[in-house]
Amino acid sequence: MSRRSGILEFAVLGLLRESPMHGYELRKRLNTSLGVFRAFSYGTLYPCLKTLVASGWLIEESGSTTEDALAVPLAGRRAKIVYRLTAEGKEHFEELLSQTGPDAYEDEHFAARFAFFGQTSRDVRMRVLEGRRSRLEERLEKMRASLARTRERLDDYTLELQRHGMESVEREVRWLNELIESERAGRDVKDSASEGTSRGVPEGSSPGAFEGSAQQNSTSGETGGLPRHRDQSRPDPSDDTTT
C-alpha cells in the first residue's frame, strides 16, 4: 500500500467514524475538511472504499442519508450505496490514531493526522507534534546549510525563494511550539487559536490541511470529534447507486 493510499484510507475511516455517508458526501467532506485531498477524484476514492469493504472495515448498505430523506424523491431513482464503519473498522481506526511513527510527521500524513486531533488522545497528540517539530527543525538546519554553501552562486530571485521557504518552515516551527505549550498547559486548541488569530495559519504548513483546524478541534481533551458539516447541495444523482 502506498503512503498516499494509506493516508486516504485513514481519512475515510475517520470521517465514517462520525457518521455513515455515501460516496458523494464523503468526497465533499474530504475536499472541504481536509485540504490535502482537494485534487483527487472518484477514480481514487472508490477503489479505496472497495479495499476497505473487502478488509471488513466498512460495509455497503442500500439506503438514504438524512439529506436524501429530506429531498423530494425522483421517479425511478435508485437508492444510493451508504458506507458504514464496522466494529472492526472502528477498532482499526483507533489503532491508526495511536500510531506515532515517522510517517505521522511527514507533510501530507501530518495534515491528515492533525485534522483528527479532536479524536486523538493528548499523549499521542504531543508525540506527533513534537515529532513534527523535530522533523522541521532538521529540515531547517539542512536548508540553512545549503543556503550558506550556494549563496554566492544564486541569483537574487532564487535566493529570495530559498529565504521564503526557510521563513515558512520557521513560522510552522513557532506555531508548533505554541501548540505544544498549549497541550502541556492543558489549554484548548480553540483558546490558543483565538489568542493567535492575527497570526493565521503558518505559511509553511501543508496546504489547506489546517484550514478551520480550530473549529474542527473544538475539543482538545482526551477524545473529541469532527464537527457535523451540513452540505445543502443536492447529491450527484449519478453517484453511488445500487445496481
Over residues 21-38, the pLDDT tens digits come to 999 899 888 887 766 666
Lowest mean pLDDT among 52-61, 103-112, 160-169, 205-214: 205-214
Reported confidence tier of residue 3, pLDDT bands at 50, 70, 90: low
Of the chain, the percentage scoring pLDDT greater than 70 comes to 64
Identify the pLDDT of residue 31: 82
Q: Distance of CA 137 to CAs 167, 168, 183, 192, Å?
A: 12, 12, 20, 22
> With 90 as the cut, is the pLDDT of residue 43 above it?
no
Nearest to 5 by CA among 43, 33, 59, 35: 43
Q: How confident is the model over 1-7, as a mean pLDDT? A: 67
CB 111 within 8 A of CB 204: no
Identify the pLDDT of residue 6: 86
C-alpha cell at 110: 501530518
Considering the chain, what is the average pLDDT of its residues? Answer: 76
Of the chain, the percentage scoring pLDDT greater than 90 comes to 47
Identify the pLDDT of residue 196: 53
What is the rounded distance in angstroms from the CA atom of residue 65 to the CA atom of residue 84?
11
* Main-chain phi, psi angles of 85, to 5 degrees: -75, 135
> Helix 156-185 crosses helix 122-150 at what angle (to 10 degrees)?
160
What three-state secondary structure class fits 82? strand
pLDDT tens across 44-94, in order? 889 999 999 999 999 999 865 444 444 444 444 556 899 999 999 999 999
Identify the pLDDT of residue 178: 96
Neighbour-count burial for 42-80, b at 16+ CB within 10 Å, e otherwise: eeebeebbebbbeeebbeeeeeebebbeeeeeeeeeeeb
| In this structure, CATH architecture of domain 3-97 | Orthogonal Bundle (1.10)
pLDDT tens across 171-211, in order? 999 999 999 999 998 866 555 555 554 444 444 444 344 44
As annotated, the residues of the chain forming the CATH 1.10.10.10 domain(s) are: 3-97
pTM of the model: 0.69
Identify the pLDDT of residue 176: 97
Amino acid identity, position 160: E
Lowest mean pLDDT among 5-9, 159-163, 194-198: 194-198
> With 90 as the cut, is the pLDDT of residue 240 above it?
no
